[in-house]
Each structure stands twice: as structure tokens, then as C-alpha cells.
């Protein structure tokens, strides 16, 4: 013998409509709270996934990069580069690595007939394609034969191709770099990652300005010295990448009298660090949004208390005709929750629309994950229930006689 939840909802909606302005203002508060949770959490996720996409484009989580340690004060004048002999030694010590690529590079002018373009000339091993997960999509990449023969061949990036050759087919043509004629044997895949900011800038555009030649060609026909500044290594899996990194650290310390002459960076380690940072960020932002939602909740609680005050006589009448205290309690809680459901629903809709506008502006899709929406809705409803309880308790504890005579 009690009023059903359905009746409470009907009563709640009726009441909601009869106080339009008050309802609208309270809904606005909840709407903003829910919306901010969705928008901000999704933006953080968006930045996170862009950064992970960047890492994948730069060789994935299995890549380990070694170059000289700029923070090390090299007082003993230890060599800050590897020799070919050292590279072979290192390679023999890490058989578990799936690819090992030593590289030298130099920013140079490249020319074809009367056209000139600046680019980064890199001397590499065939493993370069494996380590960077980047290879030629026309023609072919450098192979072991090219390295053994110190062949005069070059694989160029799309930017260099566009500047030097335009629409002409560059394969088989010769370009001149440092007075040496090199035959174009391949064109690298076009690298592109949308810039996480204004306009349509390509965050990886600089990679398309690379020209790759065999490392031996670079040493024997270029500088003449095997001063190899960089070494990149690929592990079999992201987990193994961290072990391999520690192993390489030990090897390199041994090679340089225990001094940290080289810096070793693992993408996996960076990704884990980043993951941690983003997790912290998510939690902080979620709590800020939750606090703002609670502020809205307190305001609504206050309004509901005023409503209970205004409706004292009504509650007295209801009690006199046989409403139980639980009926009154449920009615008030349900009314509060209805406001939160409506506010939460509009908040989700507005939040998602706002995200699509922001996505359009940034030029990259930012999608609210299902857990983000669920988190936002669940926290809204929790706050609604918590803030609805207090006014409801006040209402259901009214003395029917006093309530009936309330003016």
C-alpha cells in the first residue's frame, strides 16, 4: 500500500513543469558539470592518443635510440661516437634485437639539374627500414649489397622528390650531393601526422626531407671517418625493449670506461611514463569536475529545501490523507533525481556536440569514450541522489498537524 515509483515520477515531472525558471536554472548547473567531465576527459584522451600515434609513427614502442649524452661533461674526451668495429661488437652482444641500425647524418644541399633543395643526408643500414617501420613505397630500399659495395645510390623522401623532380619520375635519375652523383633507387613512403594544433601542418614533414644512402658510402666516399653518432635498435616486443635498454646501458658503459657518454631512450619507457602522467591528469581533472558538480548539487539541495518549506502544507495534506513518510521521502528524492537526469542528459548531448565542434577546429576526431560518458552520467546521478536525500529527510519528518497549519 504505497505510492509507486511511477507515481512519484509523474508527481515529480508535474512539479518540475510548474516551476519552469527554477528548474531551468538548476538544470543549467548540472548540465555544465556533466558537460565539463565529458569534454575535458575526452580532450585529455585525445591528446594522449595523438601522442601515442606520434610514437607509433616514430618506430613504435619497440624502438630504442642511442646518441651522445648532452648532459655529460666529457672531461676525459672520450669518443662520443661509435666506430664500425664497435657497432659490430654491440650487434654481436645483442642477438635478441630484431634490427640494429647505426646512422650518420648531415644537413646538405641536394641538386638535380638546375633545382636545389636542402635535406638531411643519412648514412644507414638496411635495418633502418625495420627500426623506423618506414620503407620505400616506390623503387626499393637500401640492401646489404649496396652497403658492401658502398654503392652510389640514394632513397629520397617525398619532399625532396617534389622539390627536385616535380611530377617527373625520379627513379634511375642522378642527384648531386657534395659533388657526388647518386642514383635514385627508391622513394620513401610519405610521412604524415596531423599537427595537434592550428591549421593542417604535418607534424612529421621534416622526415620527408631525408635522403638515405648506405652507411659505408657515407663513410668511405664522404667524411672518410667512421664517426657514427647514432644507433637505433629494435626489440622483439615492447616488454623486451626495456630489458634490452638496460643491457645496452651496461654494454655502452663498458665501452666508455664506465662513463655515461651515451644517452639511451626507449619509446616504451617514455610511453609508460606518459601513461602515468595522463592517468594523474585524468584523475585530477575528474575531481575538479566532480567538485563543480557537487557545488551544483549543493545549490540544488538548497533549492529543494526551500521547495520543501514552501510545500509544508502540501506535505501535511498528503500525510493527512494517508501518505507514509517513505512516500514523501521517495517523492522528493525522485524529484531531485529527475532534475539530475534531465540535466545530465542535456549535459551529455551538449558535451558531445561541443566535442565535435572542438574536433572540427583542431582538425582531428576527438571521440568521447564510452567509459567517459558512463563516468559522467554515474557521477551526476550519485551527486543527485546524495543532495536529494537531505531535503527529502526534512520533508518526511514534518509533523502532520504543524504542517497542516503552516501558513
Partner 1 sequence: MNGIIEISGIEKEYRMGKITVPALRGIDLTIMQGEFVAIMGPSGSGKSTLMHILGCLDTPTSGDYFLDGEKISAMKKSKLAAIRNSKIGFVFQTFNLLPHLNVQKNVELPLMYSGVSPRKRAARAREVLSDVGLGDRLRHKPSELSGGQRQRVAIARALVNNPAIIFADEPTGNLDSVSGSDILTIFSNLHAKGHTIVMVTHDSAVATRASTRVNIVDGLIG
- Assess 76 for contact with partner 1 (CB under 8 A): no
d(CA 243, CA 249): 10
Question: How many chain residues bind partner 1 (CB under 8 A)?
Answer: 25
CB of 388 to partner 1, least distance (A): 20
Q: Which three cell numbers stand for residue 365?
A: 576526431
- Which range, of 22-30, 181-189, 274-282, 399-407, touches partner 1 by CB under 8 A? 399-407
Which one among 316, 343, 347, 384 touches partner 1, defined by CB under 8 A? Answer: 316
- Assess 318 for contact with partner 1 (CB under 8 A): yes
HEC-encoded secondary structure of 55-118? HHHCCCCCEEEEEECCCCCCCCCCCCCECHHHHHHHHHHCCCCCEEEEEEEEEEEEEECCEEEE
The pairing of beta strand 174-177 with beta strand 99-112: antiparallel
d(CA 331, CA 3): 9
Which one among 166, 197, 322, 360 touches partner 1, defined by CB under 8 A? Answer: 322
- Assess 326 for contact with partner 1 (CB under 8 A): yes
- Assess 320 for contact with partner 1 (CB under 8 A): yes
CB of 10 to partner 1, least distance (A): 9
**E-strand stretches of 295-389:** none
DSSP per residue, 204-248:
TGGGGGEEEEEHHHHIIIIISS--B-EEEEE-SSHHHHHHHHHHH
- Assess 401 for contact with partner 1 (CB under 8 A): yes
- Assess 277 for contact with partner 1 (CB under 8 A): no
Which is nearer to partner 1, 256 or 318 (by Cβ)? 318
Which one among 98, 205, 314, 359 touches partner 1, defined by CB under 8 A? Answer: 314
Which is nearer to partner 1, 46 or 316 (by Cβ)? 316
CB of 332 to partner 1, least distance (A): 15
d(CA 407, CA 405): 6
Which is nearer to partner 1, 17 or 107 (by Cβ)? 17
294 CB-contact burial (10 Å; exposed 0-12 / middle 13-18 / buried 19+)? middle
Q: Which residues contact 138 (CB under 8 A, 6 or more apart)?
A: 171, 186, 187
**CA of residue 215 relative to chain centroid, distance:** 35
- Assess 21 for contact with partner 1 (CB under 8 A): no
- Assess 325 for contact with partner 1 (CB under 8 A): yes
Handedness of CA 50, 56, 61, 65 (dihedral sign): negative
Q: Which residues contact 14 (CB under 8 A, 6 or more apart)?
A: none
- Assess 12 for contact with partner 1 (CB under 8 A): no
Which is nearer to partner 1, 34 or 335 (by Cβ)? 335
- Assess 296 for contact with partner 1 (CB under 8 A): no
Which is nearer to partner 1, 245 or 318 (by Cβ)? 318
Residues that bind partner 1 (CB under 8 A): 1-4, 7, 14-15, 18, 313-314, 316-327, 400-401, 404
Amino acid at each position: 500500500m504505497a505510492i509507486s515509483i511511477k507515481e512519484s515520477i509523474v508527481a515529480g515531472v508535474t512539479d518540475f513543469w510548474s516551476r519552469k525558471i527554477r528548474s531551468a536554472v538548476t538544470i543549467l548547473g548540472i548540465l555544465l558539470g556533466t558537460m565539463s567531465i565529458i569534454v575535458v576527459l575526452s580532450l585529455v584522451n585525445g591528446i594522449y592518443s595523438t601522442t601515442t600515434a606520434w610514437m607509433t609513427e616514430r618506430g613504435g614502442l619497440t624502438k630504442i635510440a642511442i646518441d651522445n649524452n648532452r648532459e655529460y661533461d666529457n672531461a676525459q674526451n672520450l669518443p662520443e661516437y661509435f666506430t664500425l668495429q664497435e657497432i659490430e661488437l654491440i650487434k654481436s652482444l645483442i642477438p635478441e634485437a630484431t634490427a640494429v641500425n647505426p646512422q650518420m647524418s648531415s644537413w646538405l644541399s641536394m641538386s638535380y639539374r638546375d633545382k636545389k633543395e636542402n635535406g638531411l643526408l643519412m648514412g644507414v643500414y638496411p635495418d633502418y627500414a625495420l627500426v623506423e617501420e618506414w620503407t620505400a613505397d616506390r623503387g626499393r630500399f637500401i640492401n646489404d649489397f649496396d652497403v658492401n659495395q658502398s654503392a652510389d645510390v640514394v632513397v629520397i623522401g617525398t619532399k625532396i622528390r617534389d622539390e627536385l623532380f616535380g611530377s617527373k619520375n625520379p627513379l634511375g635519375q642522378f642527384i648531386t650531393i657534395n659533388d657526388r652523383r647518386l642514383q635514385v633507387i627508391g622513394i620513401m613512403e610519405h610521412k604524415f601526422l596531423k599537427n595537434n594544433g592550428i591549421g593542417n601542418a604535418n607534424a612529421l614533414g621534416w622526415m620527408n626531407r631525408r635522403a638515405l644512402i648506405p652507411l659505408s658510402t657515407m663513410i668511405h666516399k664522404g667524411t672518410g671517418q667512421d664517426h657514427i653518432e647514432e644507433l637505433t635498435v629494435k626489440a622483439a616486443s615492447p616488454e623486451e625493449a626495456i630489458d634490452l635498454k638496460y643491457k645496452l646501458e651496461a654494454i655502452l658503459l663498458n665501452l666508455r670506461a664506465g662513463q655515461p657518454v651515451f644517452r639511451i631512450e626507449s619509446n616504451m619507457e617514455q610511453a609508460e611514463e606518459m601513461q602515468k602522467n595522463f592517468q594523474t591528469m585524468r584523475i585530477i581533472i575528474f575531481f575538479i569536475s566532480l567538485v563543480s558538480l557537487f557545488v551544483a548539487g549543493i545549490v540544488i539541495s538548497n533549492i529543494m529545501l526551500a521547495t520543501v518549506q514552501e510545500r509544508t502544507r502540501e506535505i501535511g495534506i498528503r500525510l493527512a490523507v494517508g501518505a507514509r513518510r517513505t512516500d514523501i521521502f521517495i517523492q522528493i528524492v525522485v524529484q531531485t533525481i529527475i532534475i539530475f537526469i534531465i540535466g545530465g542528459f542535456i549535459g551529455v548531448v551538449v558535451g558531445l556536440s561541443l566535442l565535435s565542434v572542438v574536433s572540427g577546429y583542431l582538425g582531428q576526431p576527438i571521440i568521447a569514450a564510452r567509459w567517459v560518458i558512463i563516468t559522467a552520467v554515474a557521477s551526476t546521478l550519485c551527486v543527485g541522489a546524495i543532495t536529494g536525500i537531505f531535503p527529502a529527510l526534512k520533508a518526511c519528518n514534518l509533523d502532520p498537524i504543524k504542517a497542516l497549519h503552516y501558513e
